[in-house]
Structure 1
Amino acid sequence: MIITYLLSYAKTPVLLRSHQCLKGNHINTIQCLRRSISTSIPVNNVSLLSVNQLNQRHIPEYVNNPHSFFKSLLWRKPPSNILVVKKPWQKHVRKAMVKFIKHLNNDYPSCNVLVTQECADEIMNDFDSSRDALDLESDLEKIKYVIYTGTNEEIVSKTDLIVSLGGDGTILRAVSMFSNTSVPPVLSFSLGTLGFLLPFDFADHKRAFKEVFESRATMLNRERLECHIVKKSTNIPSNGGVNEESIYKTIASENTKIHAMNDIVLHRGSLPSLISLDIHINGNFLTSTTADGLIFATPTGSTAYSLSAGGSIVHPIVPCVMLTPVCPRSLSFRPLILPSTSHIVVKVRGKPGLSNSAHICTAKLSVDGIPQLKLMPGDEIHVVSESGAILDPSWDVPETIKTTATTTINNNITNTGIWCVARTKGDWVTGINNLLGFNSGFRSINADGVKSKVETEE
């Protein structure tokens, strides 16, 4: 059956087949939206609109507390555009997201719900509907929920607040959308497999959101790192840097600055051999290393890959950059904790005698677990804190780093990093105890065959 929908915003008639909105046919409402931006597509009591209709985002303030390193969230105007992200293709997370969207639509009519195009595709059929859409006017009258979507670039320019439903990986993916711009405050709920960044249980979603909406939330700032990529190699593959079998690109795009919430990793990927790297700190040569890779982690990322590689656990408010080697060919290369004002340069070195481009040793670059680039001998990366580095004019650094350092240090801008809503002021201690089992005692089997914990102290 063919149903005619009038696109209310663009006022353009479009024919949609009812079976085309089903996921199984690979032709869905999102593709219809991509063909006609600024449209209204009613499906299952839901109107899907374009984010281009919304106002630009506004940034809240963070008020100092003289007795705590936490700050208080202050909205001069209540948040109106809420980006809701979720762990993909998990039924219980999808149900929770639909429940949260219904809550916002019903109890906060001034708030607009934003989702990515892929997420909209996944959840559209989860909204209840008791109708067979036959009449256009009655269809529009029955629309109960409104969702906005668009490209990631369009969503970024509109988002006032991020609400994350999933695990730590869900937060990292959401924050990566805001790589080269300031990140809205993040309210996260634990619905994934790992929840070190997730202070709230979804059962408390109404209370938690109300506190954020009414400027009563406690905020913790988590620092980000900047990775500036400088391509200096002349060894470009004959295919122009495109390898259909690889998820890593060879040639950098125009955007050579990438932000990291957790870590920046240089690694050997699938290569059977180690990679060779030269490391400089603040213009001084530190060392040359041959290893599986290097990890540059934020304090937030200190409990992720860096911890598995032997790095320290660092409190999120400590201003530092962690440098952790991965399986170095040296027993004396230990993890380092550097000041946040450090400027770190890593250069990829080739191996002598390997002139054949097919055998040139390359390094893979990943940021927050997302594959980025394949670096050739001669290429380098510059790692600095987003809050700014102290630079000597004589150092050879990219112009983007100079701009960042001058802006953040001189003006003390507070919108760097990622502001996360905290449940209590003891979330970090609770996390390392409950999730990491910090300093947990051994367990033994007593006379009855029951495991019991051996106390480490009398």
Structure 2
Amino acid sequence: MVVNANWKIGSFSRFLQRRTHSTIKDWPNLPNCSNPSYRQIPGQHLHRLQWPSPPRNILLVKKHHDERVRASVVEFARHVNQAYKDLNILLEPSVIDDFKNDLPFAFSPPPHSAVSEYNRIVDAVVTFGGDGTVLHASSLFSKCRMPPVLSFSLGTLGFLLPFTHHIRDFCDYKLVFDELVTGKVRLLERTRLQCAAFNVDGTKLSRGDFSIDITNVMNEVNLHRGREPHLTNLKISIDNRFLTETMADGLIISTPTGSTAYSISAGGPIIHPCVSTILLTPICPASLSFRPLVLPESSTIQLQISENSRGSAEVVLDGRATCILNKGEYMEIGRGDSIWCVSRGEEWADDLRGLLKFNMGFVERGTRSGWE
């Protein structure tokens, strides 16, 4: 009888578990995405969005382990479900447990096919968090085109977020989302970098089952010596022409968007996101004459571990470590696909003043932050 009782309790527990996890809807045959077109607004650097057919599938991407963010996602999703009957709410498989009781109308893809399904059906992405959440959303579309992105500042940093000041308290989301659905929003084009890793003989680099195929990154490609005690020797070529060989902690290849990330900490310049360029910034080079380079966005940059190097280099894409490059192996980096971000239009200058305290003296900083 004890055995039977335990079996019944165990069976009931497994039943409850299955029932709990099934509250988020399984992935049906949702309609394919409606690829929008973009046209520049005359006299501005921003663009308008035009849907060929109404959007149907919206992917929500959130910051993890934050109750305020979770509550905002629930409020937003419930509003969309009530106000837009033809719109489907999509969630990542990794956050299903966070919403198993609150959003029974949401859809979530099978984990093994999530990335390919995103490319097929997602019309727009809405992020809830900080800059890291936007970068994570970009990584979900690293092998394909990125749908338009609407980002709400609910995290730590907000340099990539268009509504850092105006919607900090998440109060105007209904108006902004309606403008996205109806095509009334203004969008800022942020370029991405496309990169791939190769062996000495030019074949694709692989480590077991893993290979760095053509991948798009939003901020930067970083080659760094990592835990190696020695500096890394890197050969740099631009458009198949040898530029120099450097001994340094590493190199950063960044987009204009990424110019205010790791690159600025390494001494790189600040570049407006609308400038068509690629930025090359050395990390602690063993030369006072190696300065950051601003290159045309049409450039193809090759970074190769020199045969003279005493150490390897770790490849980091938008803050995610991917693999180690050894002697003779190399990366090729060029312009990739763009990300179209909903924009207010003036946030870049606001962020320079508000987040970077641009050209603000110590006395002025103290006054504005309440130190006096």
TM score, norm. by length of structure 1: 0.72
Q: Distance in 1 between matches of 2:349 and 2:106?
A: 40
| 1:235-274 residue CA offsets vs partner (Å, 9 max, x unmatched) | xxxxxx9xxxxxxx84584552111110000001111211
Contact residue 252 and residue 373 of structure 1 kept, 8 A: no
**Structure 1 residue aligned with 2:191:** 223
Contact 1:251–1:373 at 8 Å: present in 2 too? no
Choose which of 180, 187, 206 in structure 2 pairs with 1:212.
180
Partner of 2:157, secondary structure, is: coil
Summarize deviations over 1:43-86 as a string: whole Å, max 9, x none: 3xxx4221x42011121111221211111111121211000000
Distance 1:199 1:21 in 2: 40
Cross-structure match for 1:56:
32
Could you tell me how far apart the structure 2 residues matched to 1:432 and 1:66 are?
A: 25
CA contact (8 A) 2:89 2:105 kept: no
Closer/same/farther in 2, CA of residues 105 and 346 from structure 1, 3 Å limit? same
Aligned-partner SS, 1:170: helix
In the alignment, which residue of structure 2 is the partner of 1:33?
A: none
- Larger radius of gyration, structure 1 or 2? 1
SS of equivalent residue, structure 2 residue 235 = strand
Indicate the residue corresponding to 1:264 in structure 2: 221
Residues 99-140 of structure 1: CA distance to partner in whole angstroms, max 9, x if unpaired?
A: 11111111111100111100112222455xxxxxxxxxxxxx
Secondary structure of the equivalent of 2:316?
A: strand
Indicate which of 8, 14, 33 corresponds to 1:17: 14
Count of residue pairs the alignment pairs up: 349
> In 2 relative to 1, CA 230–252 (structure 1 residues): closer, same or farther, beyond 3 Å?
farther
Letter of the structure 2 residue corresponding to residue 419 of structure 1 = W
**Corresponding position: 1:181 with 2:181:** no
For residues 75 and 16 of structure 1, the distance between their equivalents in structure 2, rounded to whole angstroms, comes to: 47
| Alpha-carbon distance in structure 2 between the residues aligned to 1:70 and 1:168 | 21
In structure 1, C-alpha distance between the alignment counterparts of 2:192 and 2:364, rounded to whole Å: 42
Distance 1:317 1:190 in 2: 21
CA shift, 1:307, in A, is: 0.4
Distance in 2, matches of 1:156 and 1:107, equals 25
Counterpart pick for 1:438 among 348, 358, 366: 358
CA–CA distance in 2 between the matches of 1:154 and 1:255?
20
Alignment partner of 1:338: what SS?
A: strand
Residues 125-136 of structure 1: matches in 2 within 5 Å?
125-126=101-102
Mapped contact 1:81–1:160 kept (Cα < 8 A): yes
Q: Distance in 2 between matches of 1:420 and 1:252?
A: 34
Query: Are the equivalent residues in 1 in contact too, given 2:238–2:299 (CA < 8 A)?
Result: yes
Decide whether the 8 Å contact of 1:223 with 1:417 is kept in 2: yes
Q: How much does 1:189 deviate?
A: 0.3
Instruction: Give the conservation status (yes or no) of the 8 Å contact 1:230–1:379.
Output: yes
Alpha-carbon distance in 2 for matches of 1:49, 1:259: 29
Deviations 1:357-407 (A, max 9, x none): xxx621110111111111110001111112xxxxxxxxxxxxxxxxxxxxx
Give unmatched runs, 5+ long, in structure 1: 2-13, 23-27, 30-40, 128-143, 235-240, 242-248, 353-359, 387-415, 446-450, 454-458
Change (3 A) 1:280 1:78: same
- Shift of residue 328 of structure 1? 0.6
Report deviation, 1:344. 1.1
| Counterpart mapping for 1:322-333 below 5 A | 322-333=279-290
Distance 1:335 1:120, change over 3 A: same
2:100 match: secondary structure:
helix
| Alignment match, 1:419 | 340
**1:73 alignment partner in structure 2:** 49
- 2:251 corresponds in structure 1 to 294
**Secondary structure of 1:428's aligned partner:** helix
- Contact 1:116-1:152 within 8 A present in 2 as well: no
The offset of 1:145, in angstroms, is: 2.9
SS in 2 for 1:169: helix
Query: 1:165 pairs with 111, 114, 128, which one?
Result: 128
Match of 2:63 in 1: 87
Does the CA-based 8 Å contact 1:184-1:418 persist in structure 2? yes
- CA–CA distance in structure 2, aligned partners of residues 345 and 155 of structure 1: 31
Contact 1:250–1:374 (Cα < 8 Å) also in 2: no
Aligned sequence identity (%): 39
CA distance in 2, matches of 1:333, 1:186: 37
Q: How far apart in 1 are the matches of 2:31 and 2:161?
A: 29
**Secondary structure, in 3 states, of the residue corresponding to 2:171?**
helix
TM-score for both structures, normalised by structure 2: 0.88
Show structure 2 runs of 5+ residues with no match: 6-10
Distance change in 2, residues 1:229/1:438 (3 Å): same
User: CA distance change for structure 1 residues 255 and 326 in 2, over 3 Å: closer, same or farther?
Assistant: closer
- Going from structure 1 to structure 2, the CA distance change for 1:331 and 1:300 (only over 3 Å counts) comes to same
Determine the structure 2 residue equivalent to 1:394: none
Structure 2 residue aligned with 1:361:
311
Q: Distance in 1 between matches of 2:146 and 2:364?
A: 47
- The alpha carbon displacement at 1:154 in A equals 1.9
